[in-house]
Structure 1
Amino acid sequence: MRFHERVDEKSRMLPWYVNEFISKKRRTLSPATLLNYCHDYIIFFDWLLAEGYFNGDRTDIPLELLNGLTVQQIEDFLTFLQFRLDNSPLTVNRKLSALKALFHYLQNIAETNDLQPYLDRNVMAKVELNQVKEDQEAIAQKMSGKILWDQEYEQFREFVAQGYGDLYKENKRRYHFHLQNRERDTAIISLILGSGLRLSEIVGLDVDDLDLKKFSARVIRKGNKEQYVFFSEQALLDLQDYLAVRKARYKLTDQIKALFVSSPMGPKGTTRRMTPRAIEKMVEKYAAEFGKPALSVHKLRHSFATRYHAENNDVPKLRRQLGHSSIQTTMIYTHLTNDELKRAVDNMDGYPSKQTESE
C-alpha cells in the first residue's frame, strides 16, 4: 500500500477538521510526514478520550473541546508521552510540533463560512518544546558505536546474502525463508549502504523509479520534493540479482509496481509492498545475528553518510545525497570522522596513538 493510501486510511480515523488539515498539507508535506502526523494525532485524541474529556467516538471530538484545553492539560499529555509511553524528549518534541502545526492551522488559516477562525484560542502556542542540549559532537559520539565501519560494510552485506543462511542450515524453516528472500534483503541493505536513502524512500520505490544505466533512483523526499539519488555499483549488482528473480519468486503480475515486496501470504498467496515495519524487522533480525543489535535502518543510512564523508570530504554533495534541508544536520558526520582530535588528546600525555605510531 502506498503511503498516500495509508494516510487516507488513518485520516478517516480522525475528526473532520484534522482530515481537512491533512488534505490541505498534501501539497507541501511528504506522505511519510503526514502519516506520522496521523499517528501522533490518534495518540492525542485517544488520550483525550481516556482522560474523560469527551464521551463518544474519536471522530466526533468537537472543536469546542480543543478551544477550551488548558496549558496544564497539555503538560499532562506531554508527561503521559514521556513517562507512560517512554518517549524520548526528541520524540515528545516531534509529537508536540505536529500538534502545534494542527492548532496553528485551526486558529490562523482555516475559517468558517462567516470568515471566523475554527479556534479562538491556541493552547499549543503557550507550550514550549523540550530543551534538548546535545551538541553535534555528543550526537556523533553516541552514533559512532551503532554504525558500520571499514570492513563491516561488506561483512554485513555478505552476512545478509550468505552468512545468515549458513548459520541456520539446520533450521529448515529459517533456512528456506532466507533462501526465499536473500536477494531481496541483500538488495535493500546494499541500496541503503550505497545511497543513504531513508526508510520511507526505500518503501516507496517502484521498479520504474530505477535507472540502472545511470545508477540512480527517483525518490520523493521530505517536503514532497522529487529527486534522483545515485547509488553505488555494488547496490546496482545486488538490485540486478533481485530483479532477475523478483517476478517469479514473488508471483507478481505486471500490475504490481512496488520494488520491494513481501513473500506470498495467505490462502491466495498474495503479495504486497513491504511496509516500513517489515523492513525494520528484517534489518533488526540480521543485525542481532551479526553481533550489532543496535544497527537499524537509520543507522545504515548513517553508515553510508560517514563513509561518504570520509572518502569524499564534500559536505554540500553529501547534504544533497541525504536530502537534508539544513547543512547543520549533515555536519554531524564531520564529527564522526574527526580522528585528528583523538590523536591530539592522546598526545597530550606523551602517549601517541597507535595510528600516529604507524604513520
Structure 2
Amino acid sequence: MSNQIKQQTYKKMQTVLSELPWYVEEYINHKTRKLSAASLLNYCHDYKIFFNWMISESLWDGQLKDIPLDRLEKLTVLEVDGFLNFLHYQLNNKEITVNRKLSALKSLFNYLQNIAETQELTSYINRNVMAKMEFNELKDSMETKANKMEGKILLGEEYEKFRAFIAYDYGELNKDNKKIYNFYKFNQERDTAIVSLILGSGLRLSELVNLDMDDIDFSKYSARVIRKGNKEQYVYFSQIAMNDLQEYLAIRATKYQVDKNNKALFISAPMGPKGKSRRLTARSVENLVGKYATAFGKPSLSVHKLRHSFATRYHSEINDVPKLRRQLGHSSIQTTMIYTHIRNDDLKSAVDKMDMPKDE
C-alpha cells in the first residue's frame, strides 16, 4: 500500500473513531504498529455496527460515543447472540464475515480486560462476555477442499512416475541394502499391480483387498466389487493396470506358494512356521503404499489419495461426472463434484498454451 493510500485510510479511520467511545481509540492506537491501517479501519466499522445495534436494541439509552465500560461489562451471552444473529439474518453476513466481526470484538474486549490499566493499575473491565462466545464452524467449500487435496495427490507426469518408481526405481534406489532390496524384489510384481490397479480404477482399499481371482474379467478389463451398501458392481480398469496385474498373476502361485483353495487376488508373503500365505490385509497395503510414497518424496500419499489421483485424471481426460461417480461408487454426485475444482497440471498446460503467440 502506497503512503498516499495509507494516509487516506488513516484519515477515514480517524473520522470513524471520532464517533466511537474513547476506549476504542485507545485500543486502535495500541494496535497501530501491529495491524495495517486497512484492517484497523475495518475494525472501526465493525465496532460502529455493534454499538449502533446496542442502541437500536435499547441496551444503551444515549449517544453511541458515550457507551461506558460498565455497560460492556454487563452484556450477557444472550444479548451478544442476538447481535450475531442480527449480522447473519438481517445484514445477510456470511459465516466467515460474522466470525471476523466477532474476532474484532474479542480482541477489543481482551484489551479492555487483560491489557489496559487504570491509574490504580486495575483492568478496565473485570467480566468479558466475548470470551464466552464461540466462532461459527466453517465448512470448506468444494474449491477449498480441492485446493487442500491438490498438493497431496499425483498430478500430471507424477501419475506414471510413481507407478514406474514402484516397478523399477525403488529397487535401484535401495540396491545397496540387501535386506530391503531382496524384500522389494520378492514383492515387486505384486506391489506394482496393487498401485497400478488403484491408479487405473479408483478402487477403495476395502474393495481392493477383498478381490478374489474370480472377480477379474480379463476380457472386459473389469473387476467385480461389493460397494458400500452391499451393492455389487463391475468397475473398469486401465490397460496398464491389466498388464501389471497379468505380470503379477504369472508368478503369484509359485512365488507365494498359494494353496489352491486360496482365491484371494493379492497374497502376503508366506509367514509362520508352516509358511502359509494369506490374503493381504488392508493395513499391509496401507503400509506398502506409505513406504513407496515416502521414498518417492510425497509422504502424504495414501491409498485414498491414489484413489483421488485416479479421479482427478479421469475427470481431466473424460470430463463426465456421472460416469466418474459410478466408477468411484459415490452415493451422492456432490462428492464427485470436488474433482471438477482441482487444477490438474494437464489442464493448466492447455490453458497456458492459449497465451502463446500464434502464427498468422
Confirm or deny: 8 A CA contact 2:155 2:344 kept in the other structure: no
For 2:356 and 2:202, the matched residues in 1 are separated by 32
Distance (whole Å) between structure 2 residues aligned to residue 227 and residue 201 of structure 1: 11
Aligned to 2:9: none
Highest Rg: 1 or 2?
A: 2
Q: Percent identity?
A: 65
Q: Is 1:237 matched with 2:261?
A: no
Question: 1:358: Cα distance to partner?
Answer: 3.2
List alignment gaps of at least 5 residues for structure 1: 1-129, 344-352
**Deviations along 1:202-249, whole A, 9 cap, x unmatched?**
010001100011100000000110000000000000000000000001
| Secondary structure of 1:219 counterpart | strand
The residue that corresponds to 1:63 in the other structure is none
Aligned pairs for 1:181-196 within 5 A: 181-196=187-202
What residue number does 2:355 align with?
357
* Structure 2 Cα separation of the partners of residues 132 and 208 of structure 1: 46
SS in 2 for 1:229: strand
Shift of 1:355: 4.7
Q: Note the C-alpha offset of 1:357.
A: 3.1
Which consecutive residues of structure 2, in runs of 5 or more, have no partner in the other structure? 1-135
Write the distance in 1 (CA, Å) between the matches of 2:294 and 2:203: 22
> Quick one: structure 1 residues 255 and 316, their matched pair in 2 at CA, closer, same or farther if it must change by over 3 Å?
same
Shift of 1:342: 8.6
2:319 matches 1:313? yes
Classify 1:198/1:356 alpha carbon distance in 2 versus 1 (closer, same or farther; 3 Å). same
Equivalent pair of 1:310/1:337 in contact (CA under 8 Å): no
Aligned-pair Cα RMSD in Å: 2.1
Deviation, 1:266, is 1.7
* C-alpha distance after superposition, 1:176-211 (max 9, x if no partner): 101100100000000000000000000100011000
The aligned counterpart of 1:302 is 308
- Asked if 1:261 is matched to 2:259, the reply is no
Q: Give CA deviations for 1:108-135 in whole Å, capped at 9, x if unaligned.
A: xxxxxxxxxxxxxxxxxxxxxx956111
| Structure with bigger RCO (C-alpha 8 Å, 6+ apart) | 1
Instruction: Kindly indicate whether residue 199 of structure 2 is the aligned counterpart of residue 201 of structure 1.
Output: no
Is 1:135 aligned with 2:133?
no
- Say if 2:156 is the partner of 1:150: yes
The answer for the alignment partner of 2:219 in structure 1 is 213
Number of the residue aligned with 2:335: 329
Contact 2:222 2:235 in 1 (8 A): yes
After superposing on structure 2, the runs of 4+ consecutive aligned residues of structure 1 that deviate more than 2 Å are 353-359
Q: What amino acid is aligned across from residue 272 of structure 1 in structure 2?
A: R
Match for residue 99 of structure 1? none
Taking structure 1 as reference, are residues 237 and 355 closer, same or farther at Cα in structure 2, changes over 3 Å only? same
Tell me, yes or no, if structure 1 residue 291 matches structure 2 residue 289: no
* Mapped partners of 1:146, 1:355: distance in 2: 26
If the length of structure 2 is used for normalisation, what is the TM-score? 0.59
Return the alpha-carbon distance in structure 1 between the equivalents of residues 138 and 267 of structure 2: 38
